[in-house]
Each structure stands twice: as structure tokens, then as C-alpha cells.
Amino acid sequence: MNPTELRAGVSLAGVFGLRMLGLFFILPVFAVHAPNLRGGDDLTLVGLALGGYGLAQGVLQIPFGLASDRWGRKPVLYAGLLIFAAGSFLGMVAEDIWTTIAARLLQGAGAISSVAMALAADLTREEHRTKVMAMIGSMIGLMFALSLVGAPLLYRAIGMGGLFAVNGVLCLAAILVVRFLVPDPPAQRAGPRGGAARDALHPELLRLNAGILVLHIVLYAMFVVVPPRLVDAGLQLPEHWKLYLPVVLASFVLMVPAILQADRRNRAKPILLASVALLVATQAGLGFAHGIYALGALMLAFFVSFNVLEALLPSLVSRTAPSSGRGVAIGVYNTTQTLGVFFGGLLGGWLAKSFGAGAVFAACTVLCALWLIIALGMQRVPRAVNAL
């Protein structure tokens, strides 16, 4: 990568990292904190609070992508980060589950993921794009690992309101990173009138969108039931980092060969299929695993496949979509991703409440298997982004 590409990858990974660290601080401890909120003893509402920001993001990703294609990436990034910070500060003062859900929805209204990924694609050549997406994905994974260590300690020190406040402060810091560290993108050329809808409905993009939808349904449904299962296995909440941290860090190392293979010509499809097949196996295994070592091994396999797919899918979207409609195409992609967050939290909470944890893992197994079938028909990605 040239210096501009490297700077773009590092700085945009920093933007994602600052934003996602705050979100991840909520994930490991909220299910334990929720009974302290009025109405927080309903698992369905807990799942809605966990995944609620995904609903607002799902509605707004495409408008944000369109806005960034028209008015520029950076101004839209500033607006989205400010909205996200406002939601965080609302969560800081929430005392009931419904206010918390409202705060999460407002956080989600800062729907910048599509804009940031489009900016990453604007600033990098195709042959290095998967590496940049891997940098962003690895930063997100690292923030997840740090949150698993820090969240219980911070929750004990500053409470849930303090964690939401940290969300807001980190978002304001991300604005400074965008302003002073992220390179300015090249001027955008408007595409042909009506082309955005055609580009968004390209069959290969629809296939990739289906995949990211399933991936995030599975992630958020899992985290309704995995923390309680670890507690049942004898690992109390403040000690969960002892499992998560080595698992996530090891998954970074194990994902590297797959990412390097995917960057080679015609290697994206077999790597994607192998990763989805591994998801099917991990979800099926989690339905029966109860011991700490079995859960740890399965979580390691899950995060290897998850990290590979988180890096590979947006790279494939950016390579498949034409440059004039890249913001819209990535907006559609991120819409399906964040809807996966919403439906994953809601589905996981409802299934766990109605049928138990086993039903959650069974549903996730079926969804991953359907994704594998859909992915089998994947075509070779064209070499040039404007080949469509």
C-alpha cells in the first residue's frame, strides 16, 4: 500500500474502533444490568435494547450513503457521529428499559458505517482493499476484546450511565480523527440517473447482503445466551474476559492466512464458503456444549470465521459495485448488516425467553446453512470496479 492508503486504513480503523469500543462496552454487561432498570426483567425487551440501534441504522444507512455520494463523505461522517454521541448521552441518564431502547435507537440514527466504508474504498486501490477492510475488521475485533476486559471493571466503577457517557466521548474523539487524520477523498462523479437502484439490486450484491444479514443475526442472538451459559459453566461475569480475550486475539492470528488467500485471484469464493461452513459447525456445536473448554474452542472457531467474513464481505461489495454508486451499494449492505443486529437481538431474546438457549443455537445453525446454500452460486468478482 502507498502512504495515502496506509494512512486511510489506519485512521478509518481508528474511527471504527472508537465508535465500536463504546458500543461493545454495553454488550457484555447489559444483560446483567437490565434487571436494575424499570421493565428490564423482560428478556425480549433486553434483546430489543441490545439490537435496537440496528433498526435505526437499517432505516438510515441508504440515505446516509446517498448523502455522502452527493455532498461528500466527511460532512456526513461528522453529522452521524454527532447524532450517535447524542444517543449515548441520553443513555447516560436512562432509568428504565424504554428510555434505554430510545437511546440505542438514537445511537443507531448516526448511521455512518456505509459512509466510512465507501470512503475507505475511495482512498484505496482494488488490490489492497481487502487488506484495508481487514484492518478495520481487526480493529473492531480488538475493541471487542478490550471491551470484554474493561467493561466489567468500568461498570463496577462508573455504572451503566458512565459506560454510555464513555460512548459519547469516544464518538466526539472520532470526529477529531476524521478531521485531522483521515485523508480527503477524491471528488465524486455523479452516476447516471436511476443507476443507484439498478446497482443496489445487482444479484451478486444481493447475495453478499444476505450473508451479512445472517452473520449479524447470529452474532447478536448468540450474545443473549452465551454469557449466561458461561456463568452456568462456572465462569462468573467479571471473569469472562479470561475466555474472550485469548479467543479473540488468537482469532486475529488465525484469520491472516485466509485473508491473504482471499486477496489472490479467484480465491474469495472458497474462503467465503469455508468460513460459512465453519459458522454452521460452531452454531451446531454450541447447542450442545456446556463445559468451559468446549465453549472456548467453539467461540474461537466462531471468531475466526466471523473476522474473515467481516473483512471479506465489504471488500467484495466495494469491488462489485461501480464507483459512482459505491456509497449507495455500501449503504444497502450496511442496512442489511444493521437490520441483522436488530433482528438478532430481538430473535435471540424471544427464543431464549420462549424456548431456551438451545432454540437460539438451532435457529442460528439453520440460518447459516441457508447462507451456505445461497453462497454456492457466487460468481467470480470482476477485476475492475466499473466492469458492471
pLDDT tens digits along 16-70: 888 877 777 887 778 778 888 988 888 788 888 877 777 887 788 778 878 888 8
Summarised one tens digit per residue, pLDDT across range 79-115 is 999 999 999 999 999 999 999 999 989 988 888 887 8
- DSSP annotation of 239 reads G
What pLDDT score does 265 carry? Answer: 58
The per-residue pLDDT for 325 is 63
Task: State the pTM of this model.
Answer: 0.74
For 255-259, which contacts have Cβ atoms below 8 Å and span 24 or more sequence positions?
A: 255/134, 255/138, 255/304, 255/307, 255/308, 255/311, 258/304, 258/308, 259/130, 259/131, 259/134, 259/308, 259/311, 259/312
Domain ranges of the chain: 7-181+195-375
What pLDDT, on a 0 to 100 scale, did the predictor assign at position 381?
61
Q: What is the model's pLDDT at position 264?
A: 63
Considering the domain delimited by 7-181+195-375, tell me its CATH architecture: Up-down Bundle (1.20)
Count CB atoms within 10 A of the CB of residue 307.
25
Q: How much is the pLDDT for 388?
A: 32
pLDDT score recorded for residue 193? 47
Point out the residues of the chain with pLDDT beneath 70: 127, 130, 137, 141, 187-201, 263-266, 322-327, 380-388
